[in-house]
Amino acid sequence: MYGYSYQYGRIIGKGGNPAAAIFGTYKSRVLADGGTVENDACTIAFLESIGAGTDIIPLFDADYQAVLDYGTAQGYTLPSGGQQTLQNDLVVALKAAGVWSKLDTFANFATDGDSDFALIDWKRLSDYTAINSPTFTTNVGFQGNGTSSYIDSNYNPNTSGVNYTLNDASIFVWNNTFVLNDFISGIGSSAKNCLRMSSSSANVRINMDNNNFTPSVDFSDASKKLRQLNRTSSTDVTAFQNTTSSTHSGTSVSVANENQLILRTSSFYSSTEVAFFGMGASLVAENTDFYNALNTYKTAI
């Protein structure tokens, strides 16, 4: 018999060949120093090297496992095993950064799963909807055609907002490509709640009516990927390009009662390419760790 026990989320080794004990009961753990088996990226390689087999079942964070379970139940093609580990690490990093608990909706379009898996809302375990066939590229995301294609998040912050509120809110998009003056997120009826790639744009709004005074936000740095707009009070807005911030004044009026769209605002459509999208509470304090978590994942795939 092999001497292994499971305590405090770990398998504790007491000697002997670990293959049968590990693979038979806790397939995702890998023997580490001192006989402790950890959940680690080298699990599969280790178990295969000792002949344990290839049917490895990873042990993931419960919230990420729920995403995989949802995808499986819908019949979607899941990401590769290696990328599942990276995506799990992303969720863990977002939690460590204090971001995950502040999000109402979050989508990771950059995956080697299929386009249906790419449209899963990781927070609500539901689906975004691709309208008029935006182009999906594996490990990259979705690109609009500039004329008709976009993504509907199916998230209405007025009716479904929990963390997203009138004076504490954020909208963010990670754009892989830059197109000057492109609108990359907004709503269908007007230019409310919109993000635009512009150097001095009156069309950058969060919880502001269409004709209300709007802050002049510089979203024109083509080298930056994360565009994040935060409502921090009834009068204050903080914008980020990656981790570079600027503060602006703009009075909050209402939370838009429409689904937030990606690659579209009103009648304006985007031809840029997006990898991540989400909304929730303000993420000013968490911005650096948030950017690092997204960037680490994006760089690794």
**Band (233; pLDDT cuts 50, 70, 90):** very high
Integer Cα distance of 217 and 222 in angstroms: 14
297 or 210: which carries more pLDDT confidence?
297
The count of other CB atoms within 10 Å of the CB of residue 33 is: 6
Helical ranges in the chain per DSSP H: 18-25, 43-49, 62-74, 81-96, 115-118, 157-160, 287-300
Q: Where in the chain is the domain with CATH 2.60.120.200?
A: 62-300
The tokens of 8 are what? 């405090």
Q: Which two tokens stand for residue 92?
A: 């863990």
Residue 250 has pLDDT above 50, yes or no: yes
Tell the residue number behind the tokens 């083509």, with chain if given: 222
How far apart, in whole angstroms, are the C-alpha atoms of residue 256 and residue 38?
A: 45
Total Cβ atoms within 10 A of residue 279:
26
- The number of beta carbons lying within 10 Å of the beta carbon of residue 109 is 28
Q: Which of 180, 226, 221, 174 is nearest to 203 (CA)?
A: 180
**What is the residue-averaged pLDDT of the chain?**
85
Hey, is 228 helix, strand or coil? strand
Condensed to tens digits (0 to 9), the pLDDT of residues 113-161 reads 999 999 999 999 999 999 999 999 999 999 999 999 999 999 999 999 9
pLDDT band at 202 (very low <50, low <70, confident <90, very high): confident
CA–CA separation, 121 and 125 (whole Å): 5
- pLDDT tens digits for range 259-269: 999 999 999 99
Instruction: Extract the tokens encoding 255.
Output: 């939370």
Taking the chain, what is the end-to-end CA distance rounded to the nearest angstrom?
A: 40
Q: For the domain with range 62-300, which CATH number is right: 3.40.1800.10, 3.20.20.70, 2.60.120.200, 3.30.590.10?
A: 2.60.120.200
Q: What's the token pair of residue 239?
A: 């914008």
- In three-state secondary structure terms, 24 is helix
Angle formed by the axes of helices 62-74 and 81-96, nearest 10°? 140
Radius of gyration of the chain (CA): 21
Say which residue the tokens 């990656």 belong to: 242
What value does the mean pLDDT take over residues 36-41? 44
Both tokens assigned to 109: 């379009």
How do residues 41-50 score in pLDDT, each as one tens digit? 455 455 445 4
Burial class of residue 135 (count of CB atoms within 10 Å of its CB; 0-12, 13-18, 19+) = middle
pLDDT-derived band at 274, boundaries 50, 70, 90: very high
Secondary structure string (H, E, C) spanning 167-189: CEEEEEEEECCCCCCCEEEECCC
Res 59 pLDDT > 70: no
The predicted structure's pLDDT at residue 207: 94
Averaged pLDDT, 63-91:
94
**Dihedral pair phi/psi, residue 235, rounded to 5°:** -125, -10
Question: Could you give phi then psi for residue 149, rounded to 5 degrees?
Answer: -90, 145
Phi-psi bin for 228: left (phi > 0), alpha (psi -120 to 50), beta?
Answer: beta
